[in-house]
Structure 1
Amino acid sequence: MTEPRTRLRVALVLDRLEGGPARAAIAAALALDPEAYTHTVITGAPGGLDAWAEGSGVEVVRAAGHGALAETIGAGGYDVVHTHGGTAGRLAAARAGVPRVVHTWYSPPAPTIAERRAARHTGMFLAVGTRTASRALRLGLASPERLRAIWPVVALPDRAGTRTRARQLLGLPLGAQVVGGIGPARGARRPDVFARAIARLPDHVYGVWADGDGGPVARLPGRVGRRFTERLGGERLMWLGRRDDIADLLPGFDVLAMTGRHEGVPQVAVEAAAAGVPLVGTAAPSGPDIIRAGETGLLTAPGNPAQLAGAIGYLLDNPAEARRMSRAALERVADRCDPRSLSVTLDLVYRGSSPAV
């Protein structure tokens, strides 16, 4: 008979319970054997996923500030601390003498002094996307035996909503052609590139941008504000602000356009593939992990609205090709992005022997 496994206490450290990384961290934890692991989320501030986490049976503990974080980790008696952002959690875990410290990079890391210091106290790294992993190796932040490239974790819905319902939520007719963009409407996500691409497309094509973190509505800031919108696309550009019903909106898109410069593997790309939405993305880390040019979607150069508009237009004008690529995208992500797939890796990482740090 197989002897029962030692039950490990795992702390998941997150800045706040909001956004894709938080959802991915908790989904992967829940996929682990509950007889072998217990999980506690340590977070600094409330977020849009608090109720979901607690409803799933995950203990949530508040620890605002470095001092409180170090005290909470030290008092917890954890076997593993798995951090999902920043450096404070890793340093606090090292000071507390936690036997195993694991960190996930969701996008390519920066070679800051704080990151290099935290990396020296990290036993194992997980990197979402091969290019994120490659950058970590090039910068010397992780050695090969301490690094695993992973896929984003998404509990794939069976078409979470219908096209009719999605168009009702968007306030658009079924016959319109709709291009979606998902993410914070700022900075590296380049909503300005999205807007300029939509402006180059025919008048019957609408662009809809939503932030999937949930919470209060946020309009576009600064130069991507009202005047910019009116000058480019007018009513054909819709900025929905922050939404918690992205899965219901996705079936209403004819194309999902990802314009980010420094993303890892976008979770929304996996969710869109599950909803049968064709993908256009940038050749930014690690977009090509999901989008194989001409096979599972189309790739464009970052910051190039003309090229983005051309790729979107091609998929809108060639629906058979778009369907072929969306089916191939779903086949590519279906098994790789299942939480149960990552749970196998987590089990090995949590229970493996750490290199000396």
Structure 2
Amino acid sequence: MTKKIKVLRVITRLDLGGSAVHAALLAKLLDPSRYETHFICGSVNQLDEREIEEIRGACASFRVEPLLQREIEPLNDLRALFSLTRFMRRERFDIVHTHTSKAGFVGRAAARLARVPVVVHSTHGHVFYGYFGPLKSKLIVAAEKLAARVTDRVLCLAQSEIEDHLKLGVGARDLFEVHISGVPIEKFAKPAEPRERVRASLGVPPNAQAIAIAARLDPVKSVGHAVQAFALLYGFDPPPFLLIAGDGEEREKLEALARDLGVSDRVLFLGLRRDVPDILHASDAFLLTSLNEGYGKAIVEAMSAGLPVVATDVGGVSSLVKNGETGFLVPPGDPSAAADALGRILRDPALAKSMSQAALSAVSENMSVDAMVRRADEIYSALLKR
């Protein structure tokens, strides 16, 4: 019997965010006849018992290491490093695959100390700008340069992200490869509930237009700019609604902003939702106002639902949104430009229909979960043969 390839997956937070979903899908869907998957995370949030058990059931071992946290805490970080190193030495993994920045620093260092043959890191969008101040950002770049030296492959969500690393001197070009975060396209193409029923449940009138957002409510997603853009939309009868699916640290601040701008009755904070495909199909356009975005997985989800997209031109977003065809690209931090783009779509049914059809056509099998898993298998196999 052929020996299975032992893979350890390391991430700080296991939740409903894009990076965690990506890691969980790989854990669940890599061929179990070829791979023995192990999983370590710093915490588990937002998932229900069924979702946790699905991941646990797909893994040979599933472990929560509370010392592995996103915040920089030198003492705890060293303790996490030693804990991971001991575990890796004991289990003798063939591959360690880390996900996101902090797990990448600690996990890759531990893997090299434990002499793991293959070390892979998925960035899930870098944190070189949009997250921290200048000093902390410089320290992160310096740490990434060191970590790159002990990594066999760095996987980025888009080519633009690779270029950002290279401009800052992080690694050589042959270290990097694009590995997108796959979307269950069929799930987003077909809603579980009729549009009319979903809108009625949300309190959106049948003849009112709706704009959807699906995002964490944190500073880098800049949902405040989306609320400001929405408040600039005038002259619609009935007036449109903004549907925000997501939660986070800025929720109270954003709710206050909506009140201050006089649009709180039409900005609906829906919290974390597991029916995002239904929310998208109940909407007429999709808005993304991030200051930094590795890929824009939420954009692929929206396009799979046939929505025109207005998005900030950051990171890998321009690889998805074709300006003037599937939607509009606007500068980050410019609510007026976002409002103008939304207004063009909402006021022109022919343009909206054309963009909807172009969005559906632009979504390909290469963006699917199956393609993501298949490519991970190819990358692992190639690295093990070196």
Question: Aligned letter for 2:51?
Answer: W
> Structure 2 vs 1, CA of residues 165 and 140 (structure 1 numbering), >3 Å: closer, same or farther?
farther
CA contact (8 A) 1:41 1:58 kept: no
Q: 1:91 aligns with which of 69, 89, 109?
A: 109
Q: Secondary structure at the match of 2:115?
A: coil
Shift in Å, 1:133: 1.5
Residue 63 of structure 1, aligned match among 62, 65, 70: 65
**Residue of structure 2 in register with 1:145 after alignment:** 174
Counterpart amino acid of residue 54 in structure 1:
E
Report how far residue 354 of structure 1 moved.
Answer: 7.3
Deviates more, 1:40-49 or 1:318-327: 318-327
How far did residue 163 of structure 1 move? 1.3
Deviates more, 1:150-159 or 1:323-332: 323-332
Matches within 5 A, 1:150-299: 150-156=179-185, 157=187, 158-161=189-192, 162-202=194-234, 204-211=239-246, 220-222=251-253, 224-226=254-256, 228-299=258-329
In structure 2, what is the Cα distance between the partners aligned to 1:72 and 1:123? 20
Query: Cα distance 1:317–1:62, how it changes in 2: closer, same or farther (>3 A)?
Result: same
Higher mean displacement: 230-239 or 174-183: 230-239
Q: Which moved more, 1:140-149 or 1:120-129?
A: 140-149
Describe how 1:27-66 pairs up with structure 2 within 5 A.
27-49=25-47, 51-55=50-54, 57-59=57-59, 60-65=62-67, 66=80
Q: Distance in 2 between matches of 1:237 and 1:142?
A: 44
| Farther-moved stretch of structure 1 (45-54 vs 172-181) | 45-54
Counterparts in 2 of 1:259 and 1:29: CA distance versus 1, 3 Å? same
1: distance between equivalents of 2:385 and 2:123? Answer: 19
Match of 1:341 among 371, 379, 382: 371
User: After the TM superposition, which parts of structure 1 deviate over 4 Å for at least 4 consecutive aligned residues?
Assistant: none
1:355 Cα offset (Å): 11
CA contact (8 A) 2:241 2:267 kept: yes
Letter in 1 for 2:122: T
Q: Match of 2:75? A: none
Count of aligned positions: 348
Aligned alpha-carbon RMSD (Å) = 2.4
**Alpha-carbon spacing, 1:257–1:315, altered in 2? closer, same or farther (3 Å):** same
Equivalent in 80, 83, 87 of residue 72 of structure 1: 87
Q: Could you state the TM-score of these two structures normalised by the residue count of structure 1?
A: 0.89
Instruction: State the AA in 1 paired with 2:89.
Output: G
Instruction: Summarize the Cα distance change of 1:5–1:248 in structure 2 as closer, same or farther, 3 Å threshold.
Output: farther
Q: Where does residue 124 of structure 2 map in the other structure?
A: 106
Residues 184-241 of structure 1: CA distance to partner in whole angstroms, max 9, x if unpaired?
22212111211111111135111122217xxxx866244x342553334231222223
Contact in 1 for aligned 2:11/2:41 (Cα 8 Å): yes
> Which amino acid is 1:80 matched to?
I
Shift in CA distance, 334/168, structure 1 to aligned 2, threshold 3 Å: farther
Say whether the 8 Å CA contact 1:108–1:133 is kept in structure 2: no
- Cα drift, residue 26 of structure 1: 2.3
Task: Give the unaligned 5+ runs of structure 1.
Answer: none
Specify whether residues 227 and 269 from structure 1 end up closer, same or farther in structure 2 by C-alpha distance, changes over 3 A only: closer
Q: Deviations over 1:80-134 (max 9, x none)?
A: 1111112111111111111111011111353523222222111101100121111
Q: Judging changes above 3 Å, is the alpha-carbon distance between structure 1 residues 183 and 116 closer, same or farther for their aligned structure 2 residues?
A: same
Deviation at 1:138, TM superposition (A): 1.7
What is the Cα deviation at residue 264 of structure 1?
A: 1.2
- Find the partner of 1:15 among 3, 12, 15: 12
For structure 2, list consecutive stretches of 5 or more residues without a partner in the other structure.
68-79, 129-137
Give 1:332 deviation, angstroms: 2.4
CA contact (8 A) 2:218 2:250 kept: no
Instruction: For 2:175 and 2:2, locate their aligned partners in 1 and report how far apart those are by CA, in whole Å.
Output: 24
- Whole-Å Cα distance in 2 between the matches of residues 84 and 165 of structure 1? 38
Instruction: Choose between structure 1 and 2 for higher RCO, CA contacts under 8 A separated by at least 6 residues.
Output: 1
2:22 equivalent to 1:24: yes
In 2, Cα distance between equivalents of 1:119 and 1:221: 39
| Structure with higher helix content | 2
Report the 3-state secondary structure (helix = DSSP H, G, I; strand = E; otherwise coil) of the residue aligned with 1:352: helix
Distance 2:319 2:166 in 1: 17
Among residues 326, 331, 348, which one is paired with 1:318 in the alignment? Answer: 348
